[in-house]
Structures are given as C-alpha cells and as structure tokens.
Structure 1
Amino acid sequence: MQEPLRCPYAPSRSDHIRSGPLARADRDTHEGGLVSTNEVDASTRSAPSPDRDGARGNRSLRDFAERWPFRRKLNILVGVPLAVVAALLAYLFADQVGQSQDASDAAQLVRDSAQVAKLVGQLEAEHQQAVLLSVRHQSSWNGATPSRTAYREAQIRVDNQVEKVRAAFGDRLPQDEAQALREVDGLEDLRGTIERAYLPADNIDPAYSDAAKGLIDGLGLDRDPALAATFTGNLLDSLLRADAAHGSFETGVFSATTGDSNALIELIGAIGSYDEYTHQVERFGRFATADQAEELGDIEHNTAQAAIARQYAELQIDPGSLQAESPAEIKQAFQTALDSYPDYRAQARTRLKTTTSLIDQIADRADTASRDARSNAAWLLGSALLGFVLWLAFSVAVRRSVVRPVQALTGAAKQVAEVAGRELARVADDDTEDTGTPLLQEMPVTAKDEIGDLAAVFNQVQTTAVALLERQVLSRRNVAEMFGNVGRRVSNLTTRQLALIDAVERGETDPALLERLYSIDHIAVRLRRNADSLMLLAGIRETVLDSGPLALTNVVRAALGQIEGFQRVSLQAGTEVMVEPDIIGDLTLMVAELVENAVAFSPAGSPVEVIVKDSHEGALVVISDHGLGMSAERLEEENARLIRRERLDLVPTKVLGLFVVGTLARRWEVGVALSRTPGGGVTAEVTIPSSLLLTTSPVA
C-alpha cells in the first residue's frame, strides 16, 4: 500500500501515538513522517560493483586457498614437506636395497663364474690333447692307430664341468651362457674327426678358442649395466679374459713346438694371445688392489711358465724352421712337445689356482659390498625413521604452537563476543537496571610471537571499547538523571499550579472567567502528563498514592481529561470491571497517549471512538480514528516496536510516543496492537490481562 499523502489537518501517522506537546514538537522537527529504526540506523549500502562481481566469478587458486580453514593450511604446510621427505627417503632406501641386492647378485655371479673359469681351463686342456692326438696321427709312420685315451678323458672332464656350470647357475643361467654351453656340447663332431685322422691345427684352434671366448662373453659382464660400471664386473671380466688369453697363449706355443704344418700360424696366434693377456692384465690392474695385481702376476713367475717362456723365445729365433719336413723331424718335434707337456699341465694348474683365488677375493669383495649396502640401507632406514619421527614431532609441536594459541584466541574471542552480545542486549534493554559497565574477559597471551602480539592488540582494543562503553553508560545515566530532574520539577510545578487554579476556581462565579480557568487547568493537566512521560523516560517510577481500585471506564475518562480535543471522543462503556490500584497511573498515561494521537492525526471533523469491553483475556480498550492510516509494512514495524525492548537513546527520537506506550505495556504485560480501521485510519487495541482487574463493583 502506498504511503498516504499528508494534509494540513492530518499530521504524519508516525506521530499518531505520541503525546500532545511532545508530539507537536516532534511534528515541527520531523515533518517527513514515520521512519523505521532500521532505516535510520542502517548504514548506506553501496550497490555491488560489476568489477567485483566479475572478480568473484573468476576466483583464482589463491582466492580458493584463502577460503581454506587455517588448520587445513597448516596441515598442508606440514604434511607436504613430510610427504616429500618420506618419498625421498623411500627412494634412497629402495636404492640402497637395490644396490645391496645387485652386490649380492654380483657376488653370486662371481662365485658361479669360478666354474666357468674351470671349464675354460678344461677346454684349453682338451684343446692341447686334441693337438697332440692330431700330431700323433701325422707322425704315425707305421700306420698304427694312436691312443685316444688322454683325449677322451679330457672330453669327459669338459662334459662334467659343463654340468657343474649348469648346476651352479641353476635358474639364474643367462641365455647367452646357455647358448655357449650348447656350443661346447656341439664339439662332438670335431672330436670325432680328430679321433679318426689328422686335422691341421688351424682347423682345431678356432673351434676351441671360440668356445672359450663364448663362455666368457655369455656371462654378459661387459653388457650388464649393473656390472659393467662396477669394479666387480670389470675385475671379473678382465680376470677371466686374462686367464683365457694366457691359456690360448700356452696352447699356441705348445702347438708351434709340435712341428705341425701350421706351426708358424700357431706361433702368430700365440703372440696375439699374449698381447691380449698383457692388455687384460693392465685392465685388471686398474681396478684391482696391489696385492691382487701382484697375485695375478704369479701366472708369469713360476717354474713351468719359465720353461714355456724359453720355448716361446726359441720359437721366435727362427720361425721359418718351425714346420717339420720329414717324418723323422715330425717325430722328433712331437717327442719334444710331449716331453714339455708336463710343464703346460703344471702351468694350467697354477693359472687355475691363481684365477680361482682371485675369483674368491672378488666374490668376498662383492659380499662385503653387499653387506655394506645392506648395512647402509638399514642405517639409512633407521636414521630416516628417527629423523622422520623427530621431524614429525617437531612439525606437530610447531603446528600445535600455532594452532593452540589461535584456538585459544578464537575461544576467547567467542567468549568475548558472547559476553559483549549479552552486554549489548542488556544495554539495549530498557527494562533492565543499569548495573554499570560490563566486564569483558581478557584474552590470554599464550605465546611471544605474532599471535601473542595479536592477542595483546585485541586486549588493547577491548580495553578501549570498555572505556568507550563506560563513557556511554555514564552519559546515559547523566541524561536520565537530567530527564528525571526536569520531569520531577515540571510535575511539582504543575501540581502547585493546579492547586492554585483549583483555589481560584472555587472562589470565582463569573462563567466566562471560569471557562478560561478550566482551559488553563486542562493545559496544566496535559503538562503534568508530559512530565510523567519524561520521568518514565528517565526510568523513574512514581509510587501510586491512590488508596483503592478504579473502574476501567473512569480510567479512560481520566485519560480523556489529559488530552486536547477530547470533545471529539465518544466513549462506549461495555463493562464495569475494576482496575488494580498499582496500574491506574500508568494505564491512564498509556490510554491518554493513544487517544491524543488518534485525535491529533485524524481530520478535525471526524470522530474518535473509544470502546471499553470485556474479552476472554480480561478487558479490552479499542481506540479507532478515521484518518489516512498507514501501510501494512509500517503497521508491522510499529507493532514490532511496541514489543521490542530498547532504550530511547538507541532508537530515533521521533518514536517517543510509541516508546512510552511500549515501555508501559511491557512493564505491566499489557497487550497493545495497531491495525487498520475499516474505511481508513488506525485502530489501537489495548488488552488488559485479568490479573490486573477486579470483578467486584466499586464501594460507594
């Protein structure tokens, strides 16, 4: 409903329930009409900016993180580094465990390779026996078949050693090594050929040399990334190749001494094998210890090797005479080679002993590396767990040192907010006594850091707020005392004035003069009512001196006698109920305020009806006018103000009449409700509870 237009005879409906002179004073000051306390007290609200809406719609990750709870941010701040450190420690531990496992596998491979070294030595021995058997076939001048026993015994030793290699590796046997073992098994055809007839040495050497080389290559020491870059892999590879190269050298020298038709080729092969041996020895020395390098040199420093070295030197004196031309020369060369063969067997045993010893040392070194890696892994794990636990404890302690003060600060702030809320409610409550300034709880300073500084600053702000509140309380008390003193003085003066007027009225007989005296008397009564309202605002409750109850109708008549324009009011009495003496004064003031507003804010020619009747809750006084009225929203706001408990200094001053009526209604639990009068205007219904009424008639 639209706000009604004001006209000269109809003042603002916001002042409809105000008292007489105060209402007119308010009307002179606030011609704009009734304004809601919410509208007056509310701060100006700016419309949302389009840029702000756009920024809100495009929130960044930082804005999202800013909405996270403080505890979650601390959890992330502590948890993420812990997770990263845990991941790094897990990686380092896994790396150490992997190194330990690699070292253990390398140690096992080294020990298993001892069987491969023996197999290589057995192959060289079989190779030498094959050369001897072939030379026997060549030197046989009477057609007799040479003995094959030594050659077959060498074959059996090789075959048995092949099975030992397979058994040593088991499931761990590399595929290339398995292929190399199959190639050794494939020597059967060559063996059969050698047993049947003469075969040149250049046809025998490649088969046995390739088989020996394949056994070493099959281990994959130079292709396995876990071994190729380690001392263990290089030591073992260089040792096995040095052993195989020296064995080839020995076989080449031995073959060259047999007078075979390919003796010169065998000598050249021996020279190449010795160069390979020298290279592998140098390579071994780069990775081995001094003792190990010296022990490998024992292959070259023994009696058997000295004899082989002399033969090697003699062969190089006249290489052209190495090939025997006649059967006699062949027989002599064969006998010479056969006589020197024990030196080659002794050298093979010495070489195998040295190689096996060094393999054991390399395996022990690999075992030590495995144990060290395992110990390092255990130490790292223990240290990591200890450090992780200490760091976790430190992080938790730091987190608690931050969270607990913040929680304490938050809890204290909540308590302060609750206490402040109760104090604000008490301050805003007009019906509670002013007991002084509130006592707000001081926040504890639990840490000497930024959080402690925050608590200290908050305490300073709180102290300042308490000081301001003390000043407000003192100011409110002084204003109330001033209102009370002014109201009491005015009331005393009007009482004396009324007494003088009554004395003059009793002695005057002139009707015209009496009429003027009655008008002055009426104005004085209204002035005293305003003084009573002023004392009410100051919180002063006057003691009622009336000795007995009074009819509700008479209370209404007394109220009509305190207003201007009472001639327009029509009273309809529908009950003779009596009112308790204690409420007579306040009820008279309440009805007078409501009736005067009805008279003041309705057209001069319109009537104002006052109906007094019974109701199921007690008694009902209905005051109706026929002015412009108020909208539904304003009526709802005015009715809410009648119920709310608030101080006059916290609400707009132009609701003074409403404040007086609401204060008295709450004091006596009297119901007051405003509604629209059918046809226009405002109707005020005052419901007096039965607890304040007497059903007996007044005593005459």
Structure 2
Amino acid sequence: MSSLDTLADRLGRRLTRLPLRRKLNVLIAVPLALICLLISVYAYGEVAQATSAWRQAHQLRAGLQVAELVNDVQREQGQALLYFESYFDEPYAKTRVHPDETAYLAAQSDTDAQVERVRQSFGRFIPDAESAALDNMSVLQTPRAAVADGKLPPSEIDSAYGPLSEALIDGLGLSAPQQTAEASGLEQQLDALLRTEVAHASFETAVLSAETGDANAMLEFDDAVGSLQLYQFELQRYTAIAPAADSSRLAEIGFNQYQVELTDALQGLALSTNELIIPTNDVKRRQIAHQSALDLQPAVDSESTVRLAIAQQLITGIADQSNAASVQSWWRAGLLLGAAVVLLLLWVGVLALIRRSILRPLRRVTQAARRVSELSAAELARVADEDTPVGIDGPPRLEDLPILADDEIGELAKAFNQVQRTAGDLLERQAMSRHNTAEMFGNIGRRVANLTGRQLALIDSVERGETDPELLDQLYRIDHIAVRLQRNADSLMLLAGIRDTELDGRPAELTHVVRAALGQIEGFERVRLTADVDATVAPDVVNDLVLMLAELLENAVSFSPAHSEVQVSVREHAGQAVLEIVDHGLGMSSERLAEENARLVRRERLDLAPTRVLGLFVVGALARRWGIQVTLARTPGGGVTSRVAIPADWVSPSLPRSGRSWSPSAPQPVPAVPAAVPAAVTAAVAAAFPAATPAARAVSATPVRAALPTRSPGATGGPREPEFETGADFFTPRGAGSGSRSGFDEPAHQGRGERETGAQETGAPTADSRLPRRRRTGPDEDALSRPVVDTRPTPTPKPTPTAAATDTQASPDERPGALKRRVRGATLRENLVGAERIAVRPPDPDEVRSSLEEFEDAVSRAERDSATPTTLASAVASLRERQRSTSNPKETEGVGQ
C-alpha cells in the first residue's frame, strides 16, 4: 500500500469519529458554489473582453480599407471637377468639344473595386451602419452620368461626393462606448485619424475646384478655408489622445512640398477673391483658370498619395495594438480558468474523502430504507386498489429500520421508523375512508332511486285520471325531472361501485336504447337520429348503455348552441355496432381531448378525478366494465364527436335499415293553409318564423304528431312498428329478408308506471315535445321502445270553407261533446312540419326581413281592397316578440361534462 493510501485511510478513520453535524460543517458547499460562481462570472467577462478585443482589432484593421475608399472617393471627385471643366465653349463655336474621360473612368473603377474590398475585409462582422453607407455608394451612378454629359456643375459635384466620406466614417461606430478604456482609446484614435484625413482631402478638392473659376468659385473657396480649419482641429484632437510619435507622423501631411503648393494656391485665391468667378464669355481667362487647375492636379494627387500612406501606417499600428490587447485578454482568461479548474479539483478531492467517511454508515441505512420502500409501495398499491376489500390481510405491516449507532444517523433511523408507522396507519385509515365514502354514496343513490321510483308511480297515478291539458303538461314536466333525477341516482350508485344484477332484463334494439337515453335528458328535441342499420343489445348491457348514452347526449346538448342539431348515427363497422354523437358546440382543445380520452380508458379513483367531468367518469367506468370503446374527437367547424363502438359480444343481428331517420324536428309536408288567409301572407309568415317557434304554431294551427315511430294496432290487433325502407345489411339478419318488417309481438310488461293502451283519439290533449316520457329505468322492452312524448299543446285547426269536404268520416269520439278518453300514445306527435326542424345555422336575417316586408305589403293591399280593418300587422309584431322571448333555451341539469 502506498503512502497516499495510508494517509487517506488515517484521515478517513479520524473523520469517522466525528458527529454528523461536524462532517456536514466540513462540506462548505455554499462557499464553494459562490467561489465557482464568481470565477465563472469573471471568466465570462474575460472571455467576452477577449472576444470584443479581437472583433475590435478586426474592425480597426478593416478601417484601413475604409480610409482607402475615402481617398478614392475624393480622387474621383477631383477627376469629376476636371472633366466637367474640360467642356470648353468657343465664343462662336456651334459644337461642344468632348474631353478625354479616361482618368475619370479609371477613378470610378477604383472606387467600385474598393467598395467590394471593404465588404470583404469586414466579412460577417460588418456594422449595419457601414453596410448601409456602402449600399448608398450606388447613388453615384446618377451624378456620374450627369458629369459625363457635362450637365453637373462643380457645386452639385461637391454635394454628391462630399457626404459619402462622412457616412463611411460614421458607419464604423467608433464613437460608441466600449467595455475598456484601452479599447475606447484605440477607437478614438482611429476616428480622429480618419476625420483628419477626410478634412485634408476636402481641402485639396475645394482648392482644385476654386481654381476653375466657375460660378461657385467663391463658395468653393470658403469650403477650402473651412476644411483647412477642420483639419487643424482634428489634428489637435488626435495629438491629445495618440502617442507623440504618431502625432508627429500625422502632422507630416501638412509639411511637404505638395502641401506648400496647395497653400500657395489658396493664398493666391484669397488675394483675388473679387475675381474668382470668371464670366462665361471671357474665354481667355477661363482657359487660364482651366490650365491652372490642370497644373495643380499633380500636386493634389501627390498630396493624396502621401496622406494615404501616412494613414495606412498609423491605422496598421492601431490595429496591432488592438491585436496585442486581444491576445493578452485571451491569455488572462485562459490562466484564470485553469487556476479555477485546479482549485475546484483540489476541493472535490477533499469532498470525496469526507463523502467516504459518511457513505459507509449510511449505506446500511439506505439498504434498509430501500427494503422498507419496496414493501411500502406494494402495500400502498394493494390498499389503493379500489376493488380489493379492506381488512382481508389486516393493516399494512412495515419493517423497522435497524439502529446502528447513537449519532445523528441513529436518530434518523428512529425518526424514520416513527414516520413509517404513522404512514401505515394513514394508509389503513385512507382505505377505510374510501370504503365508507363509497358506502355513503351508494346509500344516498339507493334512497334517491327509491324516492324517484315512488314519485314516478304517484305522478303516473295522477296522470291516469287527469284530462286537463295544462295540468297534464305540468305533470309531464315533473315526470321528466324525476326521470333525470333517477338517472343521477344511477350515476351516483355507479360511482360508489354498486352493481345491481338485472334478473328480468330483456334485449332491446339499439335505436330504442338511444330513444330511452333521449328520454333522460333535457333538450332532446334537438337530437336527430339516423340509423342505417340496427342491432339487438344483450339484456345485461341495456341499462348501462342507456346511462352511458344519456351522459354523452347530455354533454352534447348542454355544450352546443340552442339553434344547432345534435346528430346521432348508428352504423356497422368491423363487426361492431358504432354510434356517433356529433354536436357543433364549444368543443375542446387538443390537450383536453387527449386527457379525456385517456380518462375514458385508464382506471382512476373517484376522489382524484376532477369534479367537473363526472359525466365522462361515468362513461369511462361503464365502457371499461363492458369493453365498449368510447373516443372523443373534434368536430370539423367546432364541437365534439363522441364515438361509441359496442363489441359483437353484446349485440346481435337485427333488421337492416335504409336511411332510417328520427328527429322531433324532422321535415314533413306543410299543412294546408286556411282560405281566409291569403297565400302571400302565409308564405311570408312561414318564411319569417321557423315552424318550431310558438309564432309559427300560432299561424299554422294544424295538429302534428311526433316523428318518433309509435306502435299502432296491426292486422292482428297487436303492436306494430311503422315500416321503414331497408338498405345495406348489418350483419346477416336472422330470418329477415330485404323487405321491411310488417310487425312484431311484444308481451305486455306489467310493473311500476304501466299505462293503459287503447286506440288513439284525436281529441286527446297533446303534451310538450320537450319533455320525453320515461316510465321506468329497467331494461324492459316496453320502456325502451316507447316513443318520446311531445307534451306541447297543439291547437286544433278551425274548419275552413274550402276544407269542408273530406274523404273520411269522424269517429264517434271525435264528435263535438263526446267524452274524451285519455289513451296511451294519443298525445304523441308523429310528424312535424319541415319548418319545425332545428337548423344547424340560424335563418338569414336579410331573407327574414324581406319576407316580413312582403307580408306587410300584402297586409296593406288587403286593407285597401277590403273595407274591414285588419290587425295582422299587430299580430306579426306579437309573433316577433314571442319568437324572441322563446329563443333562449334553459340551462341543462344533471351530471355534465
């Protein structure tokens, strides 16, 4: 064993004797984290500074190319002035002499090439302002063409070229604040250097332009004087911030023979300021001035070359200083990071030794805790299982942790044992609480179910002896509320886990199951049922399937607009009976749909489920019980589509249908209109008021019957189902051909809520179609096949002169004064007019307004044609008011989505 291992063991043994709190004190994690944070911040700053220095060096080196571009622009400006002055007019010449443009074109080419070199020198780090200034160089194409044609005077040449140089320097952003004083000083030096060069270049160009003696010579002379003063100011600024050697080097621009020539030319212009502008007709003086400008051009070019060389040398020195600062920043950042890493490794080594002294005694505690955790998880899963009876194996038994020492770890083991004993007691109490809560829900559900059953029996007994239509309407409403309350009681017992065995259940057709579910909800008249096929549902599934469909239909009706339809379709797919419930209401988001579909599949405890989705909780419980697949999807255009797939184990083949459709608002032929009302008036009222509204029923006073198929006495006197057109097969019908069924036998089922049967009488009062009738919650065939009752009172049409002759004779019960006997099914409305059908969309306001205007015109014509006054206009206003007052549906009740 090496000496290092021996030292580590000795240090470890010493640390073992220390209490846990002292061991934790050694672990100064917080100071270590703070140190690491400070080092990271400082290192980040150093790296950022190094990166900034590198970018600054890159930008300063690119500034050399900008200086050359500024020099090329000034040179092109001078060539443009000379080229324009070369256009010389003889006093009596008829043509203008076209000068040589070789030098001017060469200057243009140099400028364009330098623009591309500037872009390449910056690369992707080019400043936005500099890029815009380079793009602005394209505006030179217009003044270049004007100069080539001799149409641009010197004053406009100065205006075209002058601002470009300033924009190129401003685009570098050298005056912006920097992170360090050193970086700021270098950029200030470069800015002063470039502006000094631009000022001297402007001085050179202005002197050359003033020598031409054009109409703007006086202004150009003033520009030359101003540029010289600006040059001297920028030179002083550079001298104040730059080293002495660099300042002396830049001052050499003004101390050479070419500068002397320019200064002499400026002084000569100053002595003859009154004669600077030479008239156009003074050809001789213009020739002398033009020659003077040509003689001064070599001095201007030479001075420009000297100036550019000095600027390049100084800019290179500034860029080298920036590169050195960048390298120094990178070295400083690297050393700091290295030192931080070494310090961190040393500290981690110390922490590893401390960890070793703590890990050994805690490993045993950890192993024991893991065993306890596994046992606790298994016990928790067993207790949380809602189907497992409570108290079979007694309370959960959890193993105590061994206490290995008397230090803080031993105290931790004692506390952990106490915690797990408390947790076991809580698990037992929680399981018992859930069991008691389920029992309470079950008892409440049974009580409510018994009370509603007795209530339905009492209501039924009262209805048997009552013939008053208004009182019957109120009784039907109470009956419907009791049925819905009984459905809620069934849902409550289901949530409590109570499952009653149905001993006298009977099979029922799937469409009858849907109708039974509609009888348990409010607003059933908005539901439209379409059955292409049909199937017979097993008796065991009927009750639960009715409850499931009632919850889904309740959600569809409750969360969709009052003017929209809810479509229910029955079809066959892959050997299963499939129902689709489509609404056009609020809908759900994609996340909510995924969550609800998952809740329909997975097993979930009631106390953890959201209370707002108890309806879907009931649907999911029933679907898992019978293996029915229920999925929710988004309806195109808004809303939710519920798809219920019943396995073939619970359905058997039945008579196939062909487009069988049922809806309380199904279209029917429009009844005849009394002759006393003009046809135009009737058409206007029919177009203005939907037939489902009270206003329309007031105008069209023709009794209608519910669209539900009702039983009528057949040839043998037994119940008979209306014939429907047959279509594609749903499974293979047992003993059924392609034609329609003529009838079927159904044994009478005596029990609670049974009503008398008899012949239908036209004089029986009708009930409101919004209140479907349900006599019992059991699976008997009579309750499922009974059509929904329309309980709205329908006014009896008055006889008209044109309808006196009929093909049939009134029965004895239909004669005036005859005793009206209340017969089961007599109040059902089997047919509804087409206008009473609830449309998916509301009527067009423009069409309704147009129809009303036509109706009012017809009323006016009728008043003019007849001497008797009419009140149809007031009737229309009243009908409008009644339509608005009945347009808002009531809120739904029950367990909703």
Give TM class, smaller chain: 0.3 to 0.5
Q: Given the two structures, how large is their TM-score scaled by the length of structure 2?
A: 0.36
Larger Rg: 1
- Which structure has more RCO (C-alpha within 8 Å, separation ≥ 6)? 1
Q: Which has the higher helix share?
A: 1
Q: Given the two structures, how large is their TM-score scaled by the length of structure 1?
A: 0.45
